Each structure stands twice: as C-alpha cells, then as structure tokens.
Amino acid sequence: MAYSLSLADRLRDCLDRYPHITDKRMFGGLGFFHQGNMVVGIWKESLVLRLGYEQASKGLKRTGVKPFNPTGKSLKGWVMIHEDNLEDDVVLKQWLSQAMEFVRTLPGKG
C-alpha cells in the first residue's frame, strides 16, 4: 500500500468543513490543496502538515511529531505525524486547523 487508506478516510471526513479543498495523488501519497497550495498530505502511514516555519518549530516539540524529510533533507515549515499519534479526530482537526490557518495566508495558485 502506498499510503494509509484509513488515514485518508479520516482526513477526508475532517476536511469536509473546509470549502474548496481538492486532492491529488502524488509521489506515492495523497495531497490535499486549498487554492492550489498543499495544506496536508499522507505519506505512507503518516500525516504531513504544512504549518510554516514558526508553527512547525513549535509542533516539533510535541510528542510524535517529526520533521518531514522524504529525501533525507527536512522540508522547512512541514511536519510529519505517524497515524498512531493521531488518537482521535479532535487531535486531527486541531492539526488541520493550524495548517489551514497558515495556507490561507499564501496567495492562491492557478
């Protein structure tokens, strides 16, 4: 399996409250976009979040949160959380809210 289908289902349910979210398969995973900017994705069995530099730095201090480094080099402003550390949808929604807050500050693409 390229990415966690159960995490994808949970993520889709939680993202229903946000308008204009699209998804796209990419690099063996799944990405979710707002106005052309990636907000969140699934890579293997982990959630990948775009939080911006400041929030990502804070997030990395939390248990189970790691830098996102699919190529061996960390992507600044991004974090990765294994699905086992996303106990329930309340926690998942909190992370999504942070990612949406950041991505809404970016200019739309396309």
Domains in the chain, CATH or no CATH each: 5-103 (3.90.1150.30)
* pLDDT surpassing 80 at residue 71: yes
Strands 37-43, 21-26: pairing is unpaired
| Token pair in block for residue 22 | 């699209």
Q: How far is Cα 110 from Cα 106, in angstroms, rounded to an integer?
A: 13
pTM of the model: 0.91
**What is the reported pLDDT for 110?**
67
Number of helices (H) and strands (E), helices first, in the chain?
3, 6
* Triad 76, 78, 84: Cα angle to 5°: 145
Question: Cβ contacts of residue 73 below 8 Å, gap of 6+?
Answer: none
Q: pLDDT, tens digit, for every residue of 10-62? A: 999 999 999 889 999 988 899 999 999 999 999 999 999 999 999 999 999 99
Q: Are 78 and 70 in contact (CB under 8 A)?
A: no
